[in-house]
Chain A
Amino acid sequence: MSAIAAEPMAARVSASQAETAPVLEVSDLRIGFGQGPNLVAVVRDVSFAIMPGQSMGLVGESGAGKSITALGIMRLLPRGARQLAGTVRLAGRNLTAASERDMARLRGDVVGMIFQDPLTSLNPAFSVGRQLTDAIRAHRAVGTSAAMGIAADLLALVGITSPRARLASFPHELSGGMRQRVAIAIAVACEPKLLIADEPTTALDVTVQAQVIELLARLKEEINLSLLFISHNLDLVAEVCDVVSVMYAGAIVEANRVEAIFGMPRHPYTRELLRCVPRLTDGSGPLPAIPGEPPRMETLPPGCAFTPRCSQAHHRCRLPPPTVADADGRVCCWLAT
């Protein structure tokens, strides 16, 4: 019987209220590629914190460094990339100093991760049931049949009909939305405190996306799951997340509660980006775009990276802008001073 459904909701809520420490705390994280003179920093001094039960959106366009940040947190960086500075604390534990064995114990147990393409993030050679039980038995001492039972409960939790029958299915027999649900089930199998979702719905149709998002919202409620939601889709993040950090060229330019980011964006990039998003309720007419191109990380301008494309740039922007923080959030821009 699944441990998830057994505990009453109230007990879990009060337990989480006792934890006011962040589930995830990232401080001045710096990740780079290459060596010596070819060293390029692609994540520059990124800091944020996610509280229990909170969902944070990490938005930015391709090349901004969102995925690398997530992989850096999980210590799953690709070859050639390494963490240059900063610390990551997960549920109080310092991940930067942890050994690979400790990390393996944490991954899947305390923190789960789902990726963009469920077809490649699931193993096509193994059945859904097998992959789920592998994930469960990696961190829990249960027998195979008990694990199968938990697996069936997990499939039901993520809204898959006929869960027992589905255990024998293979990934290619499922639709994209179902595969992503299975991936979510695997990621939350051991009731992690944090789920990192890297563009989880980008490869899905919009009608399917809506349902996966609803699932994530439901999980957040039912098992008090914190969520790090990475996406380039701003409207989606606005629907799903409580707080938002906006990344540009490897650095966070603005972070705040979601209502503030979307209602009163303070950084020029955030403002411009929001203007570019086409909405159903728009009229016709030219679609705004940000002039220029995203910068190459090897040749960032000194000071603020957004300067070449910023309509409000001025001479001070040649120096690295300060971070101005207030009650809810922070902005990294000279205009905020």
Chain B
Amino acid sequence: MKPMSAPPLLRLRGVGKTYTLGGGPWARLLRRQVALAAVADVSLEIGKGEVLGLVGESGSGKSTLGRIVARLINASSGEIAYQGQDVTGLSGAALLPYRRKVQLVFQDTQSSLNPRKRVSRALQEALAARGVVASERAEEARALLGMVGLAPGVLARYPHELSGGQRQRVCIARGLAMRPELLVADEPVSALDVSLQGQVINLLMRLHEDLGLTMLFISHDLAVVRRICTRIAVMYAGRIVEVGPSDQLMRAPAHPYTQALIEAVPKGLAGRGHRHRFARPASVAGRMPSQGCPFQPRCPQATPVCAEVVPLSVAVTSDHYAACVLARPASPSADPDVIPAEMEEILDVPANDAAEQHARR
């Protein structure tokens, strides 16, 4: 795990996004609106060349955060700094340089391509937006397709004539047309069959290596995130509850929600009959407690203090933080390779290995 000595490429400080849900055009006057914090007080850094995974379930705010990073949505509070420069308040023409540096790939391949435009037109428009002269656009479009492993014949097709995996690769190509430095991938493979996910995942990893792309990889699939990300941040109810190096986070999660998340991932044969105990069911639709730790209603380890105060980030190690009152700094002498007792049963490494060896035969 590379220490982050260089200044971060992207830095978020106290970023929040609150939506006011109205009841029609008069609601604001009649004060009937409800404020919903999709993202609250997020502070995060992404180093150059890093692949940061952002994990969370529905309603965690991860997609919203991704769009805030790409400046598709304006944050309600906090600051975003790119290469040291504040980009939070920029708009219009001033935002264009940032647009060239940061691009986003969407989850839904059906709606992320204009159904009435052929692939060639979609790519050439993107190139035009970057300022490529008309005579060179066709050539570059072909090169972009080659970069994502698609044949030039795809240029003439419409999005509905392509498969999900091909569409996703076209979207990646379109994002690359702007020559970004930071690519935000919002659930890029969630809509794909598992036998095809590898194609897109491997493509992203190759682009990361070949182009030096920094990536923010948003997903709910912990196993995929763990494979390609060096660092993982876990979100719950709009807040970052834990962030740290992938290996460490998986082996010894310090936040009860992370533990619950790891436990909940189906383990195959090894998971048969396992009683899940790290999270209680959510009781009501989307209602988060107004005070205290958002995970507290479901947390089996909750203490009375948890309902009153939003926990601060505690440094478990120098690069591993958890926002929980129960988190404690790891003792310096602890062996980083040892798996804590409560995680052993959940991770259950030996049984999985045997099944995999059989499968590979």
**Interface of A with B (CB < 8 Å)?**
61-62, 159, 161, 172-178, 205-211, 213-214, 217, 232-236, 238-239, 258-259, 262-265, 271-290, 293-294
Contacts and interface: CB of A to CB of B under 8 A. Distances in A.
A276 B227 contact: no
A293 B347 contact: no
B286 A211 contact: no
Interface in B246-274: 250, 260-269, 271-274
B210 interface: no
A29 B285 CA distance: 41
B140 interface: no
B194 A61 contact: yes
Interface of B is mostly: helix
A217 B276 CA distance: 12
Contacts of A239: 266-269, 271-272, 274
Contacts of B286: 175
A337 to B, nearest CB: 19
6 shortest A-B CB distances, which residue pairs? A289-B198, A205-B57, A235-B266, A278-B223, A287-B198, A238-B268
Contact of A280 (B202, B265, B360): B265
A290 B195 contact: yes
Given A276-B198, A287-B201, A175 B284 contact: yes
6 contacts: A159-B281, A210-B263, A217-B273, A262-B269, A265-B358, A282-B223
Contact of A287 (B197, B261, B354): B197
A286 B205 contact: yes
B349 interface: yes
A238 B58 contact: no
B281 A177 contact: yes
Given A211-B276, A289-B198, A173 B359 contact: no
Interface in B61-78: none
B175 interface: no
B139 interface: no
Contacts of A280: 222-223, 226, 250, 262, 265, 267, 347
B269 A205 contact: no
Contact of B193 (A62, A172, A262, A283): A62
Nearest to B162: A293
A12 B354 CA distance: 38
